[in-house]
Amino acid sequence: MKFIDEIKRRRTFAIVSHPDAGKTTLTEKLLLFGGAIHVAGAVKSNKIKRTATSDFMEIERQRGISVATSVMGFEYNNIKINILDTPGHKDFAEDTYRTLTAVDSVIVVIDAAKGVESQTEKLMNVCRMRNTPVIVFINKLDREGKDPFDLLDEIEEKLKIKVRPLSWPIGIGKSFKGVYNLYEHKLNIFTQADKQIAEKPIELLDLDSKDLDYYVTENSADLLREELNLINGVYSDFILDDYLEAKISPVFFGSALYNFGVKELLDCFINIAPSPTQSKTVERFVSPEEEKFSGFVFKIHANMDPNHRDRLAFVKICSGTFKRNTNYLHIRLGKKLKFSSPTAFMASKKSVIEEAFPGDIVGLHDTGSFKIGDTFTEGEQLHFTGIPNFAPELFRYIDNADPMKSKQLNKGIIQLMDEGVAQLFISTLNGRKIIGTVGALQFEVIQYRLLHEYGAQCRYEPISLYKACWFESDNEEKLSDFKSRKYKFIAKDKFQRHVFLADSAYSLQMAQEKFPEIKFYFTSEV
Ligand code: G4P
């Protein structure tokens, strides 16, 4: 197959949702369609159950599962689909944010009964920042839920996107009869069986046809006609370019558990979702069709085997063809490296590959020198941008609890930070190390992993801080005035950038008011 066709047939995306909305169930049903798995229940959820928040073994077990399901590749109708998995637990939200930098589109799953939940709002903020095209799947229609019009309003308001339904439910919960597919003008009748093969939809171009009454009863048919009239009046027509430019999000309804509405979603998805698009670097835009290989590390996963310190770096291929045993330049290290066993992921199986194309993810073995955001090329100096660091909201001083192991502790901290587990700040006041995270679990993960992977022991000391944010200004005078007045609250991040450690919302607000010349940032890009 021609290189250009390989690019065009790739769809690399993530399914995101608030925990329990049905992300894992939907993923599994998509894999069933692709023939990548053959029985339901084969994909284990990588979410850490709520009850296990302080169970380290559970965390470790989950990390093991999540490496296997990090990328799930499969073929469907000659389209190569790469689903990038994201952790469900909110404390690992940063992992999810970073994964979103490696996808070309996103499917958001929403529970019809719960509507838009907090985690979904946060994830959508990241999609908006990056103009990622989004398809919405409203799930669990087999259960009682909110009115579909109310749901669409809620999605528009809370997720700040414009929507366009491409399927429409006929009833909900006990009275759920099926969906009408507005994209293909087909009727899908719901049956309560967990089917591996979807029901064959009924072609129904003319909604005034009596056939509709026959299939869904007269009352439901009348209501559907009325609602569809309303939809066509309220929502503008679906325009593909608007979706690709992230200006509008098509919406589908269904029930992942009963494998209902999933095939419609998938068929439409492979048709409309973008193949790999251009990526931004500091130097220029990189187009996937370029002949020369380039890619970046968006995720690092520590190996589960404690006897081997090697890790797997997940590289998104942005341009050209990646080849096994070929020298590539690691830009930050300035070194040529070649990889004898690059890994690709098909469903939950890993295998060594000879080559990979833009949109694909390859796993590269790393002995501890890679960092999130690292770029590989055939020689050109490029630095991919857009991998966000989020302002952490939980902080603790981290100290060495075993003086004999300070080297191990430092190495461990640096490597865990490179993996993106948390962020490290050095206080300019006292030179002490401060760990900042977005979730409380990370502190336990760090302590556990330092001990088990590096043989180092750490101790935490509380520090009362509200938020860490990056700042800069063109006005040098004001900048140094701010730094000297707030010297107790200034630290440096791993890139030596200045960070303001605000101890309260009030002090942050005061700083913003008193120093209007200074810009405060709540995300920073690597
Ligand atoms: P997540 O990955 O987004 O966290 O959600 P997951 O797929 O694990 O689904 C959460 C729960 O919702 C599961 O039930 C799952 O079976 C159920 N579910 C998913 N889709 C549907 C649907 O369309 N209809 C209905 N009625 N339920 C759905 P659970 O009891 O929490 O877990 P399990 O014991 O079934 O694994």
One-letter identity of residue 27: T
- d(Cα 400, Cα 172) in Å, to the nearest integer? 57
Q: What per-residue confidence (pLDDT) applies to 194?
A: 59
Pocket flag, ligand 1, residue 98 (CB < 6 Å): no
One-letter identity of residue 117: E
- CA 243 vs. chain centroid, Å, equals 19
CA of 119 to the centre of ligand 1 (A): 17
Q: What per-residue confidence (pLDDT) applies to 196?
A: 55
- d(Cα 368, Cα 492) in Å, to the nearest integer? 23
CA of 20 to the centre of ligand 1 (A): 6
* Phi, psi (deg, nearest 5) at residue 82: -120, 110
Q: What per-residue confidence (pLDDT) applies to 277?
A: 93
Residue 285's H or E segment, with its range, is strand 285-286
The pTM score is 0.86
Q: What per-residue confidence (pLDDT) applies to 62?
A: 62
pLDDT band at 350 (very low <50, low <70, confident <90, very high): confident
Pocket flag, ligand 1, residue 437 (CB < 6 Å): no
Per-residue pLDDT at 308 exceeds 70: no
For ligand 1, mutation pick of 20, 109, 192 (most atoms within 8 Å of CB): 20
CA of 299 to the centre of ligand 1 (A): 27
Rounded to an integer, the average pLDDT of 142-162 is 94
Q: Whose CA is nearest to atom 21 of ligand 1?
A: 257
pLDDT, tens only, 168-193: 999 888 888 889 998 888 888 887 66
pLDDT band at 304 (very low <50, low <70, confident <90, very high): low
Pocket flag, ligand 1, residue 46 (CB < 6 Å): no
Ligand 1 atom with the shortest distance to the CA of 19: 4
Ligand 1 atom with the shortest distance to the CA of 143: 26
Q: Whose CA is nearest to atom 9 of ligand 1?
A: 22
Rounded to an integer, the average pLDDT of 287-313 is 83
Q: What percent of the chain has a predicted confidence (pLDDT) above 70?
A: 89
Pocket flag, ligand 1, residue 19 (CB < 6 Å): yes
Q: What per-residue confidence (pLDDT) applies to 51?
A: 41
- d(Cα 302, Cα 136) in Å, to the nearest integer? 32
pLDDT, tens only, 194-241: 555 556 788 888 888 888 888 888 888 899 999 999 998 899 889 999
Residue 164, beta-bridge partner list = 250
**347-374 core/surface letters (b: 16 or more CB in 10 A; e: else):** bbebeebebbbbbbbbbbbbeeebbbbb
pLDDT band at 279 (very low <50, low <70, confident <90, very high): very high
CA of 199 to the centre of ligand 1 (A): 21
Per-residue pLDDT at 54 exceeds 50: no
Pocket flag, ligand 1, residue 25 (CB < 6 Å): yes
Computed from CA positions of residues 95, 97, 98, 100, in that sequence, does the dihedral angle turn out positive or negative?
A: positive
Domains by residue range for the chain, with CATH: 3-173+237-272 (3.40.50.300), 279-377 (3.40.50.300), 391-525 (3.30.70.3280)
pLDDT band at 130 (very low <50, low <70, confident <90, very high): confident
pLDDT band at 311 (very low <50, low <70, confident <90, very high): confident
Comparing CA positions, the residue from 300, 166, 323 lying closest to residue 231 is 166
Question: 520 or 52: which carries more pLDDT confidence?
Answer: 520
- d(Cα 42, Cα 30) in Å, to the nearest integer? 12
Counting every residue written for the chain, the total comes to: 526
Q: In the chain, count of helices (H) and strands (E)?
A: 14, 33
CA of 4 to the centre of ligand 1 (A): 39
Rounded-to-10 torsion of CA 311, 46, 48, 136: 120
Comparing CA positions, the residue from 359, 387, 415 lying closest to residue 82 is 359
Pocket flag, ligand 1, residue 415 (CB < 6 Å): no
Pocket flag, ligand 1, residue 498 (CB < 6 Å): no
Across 208-217, 324-333, 514-523, the highest mean pLDDT is recorded for 324-333
Per-residue pLDDT at 48 exceeds 50: no
For residue 104, what are its two tokens?
Answer: 């070309």
Question: 480 or 34: which carries more pLDDT confidence?
Answer: 480
pLDDT band at 306 (very low <50, low <70, confident <90, very high): low
Ligand 1 atom with the shortest distance to the CA of 139: 23
Rounded to an integer, the average pLDDT of 421-430 is 91
- Assess contact for 488 and 428: CB atoms under 8 A: no
pLDDT, tens only, 352-364: 899 999 999 999 9
Q: What per-residue confidence (pLDDT) applies to 210?
A: 85
Comparing CA positions, the residue from 292, 311, 13 lying closest to residue 134 is 13
Rounded to an integer, the average pLDDT of 327-353 is 87
Ligand 1 atom with the shortest distance to the CA of 109: 3
CA of 26 to the centre of ligand 1 (A): 9
Q: What per-residue confidence (pLDDT) applies to 49?
A: 44
- d(Cα 510, Cα 400) in Å, to the nearest integer? 35
3-class DSSP state of 494: coil
CA of 140 to the centre of ligand 1 (A): 9
Considering the chain, what is the average pLDDT of its residues? 87
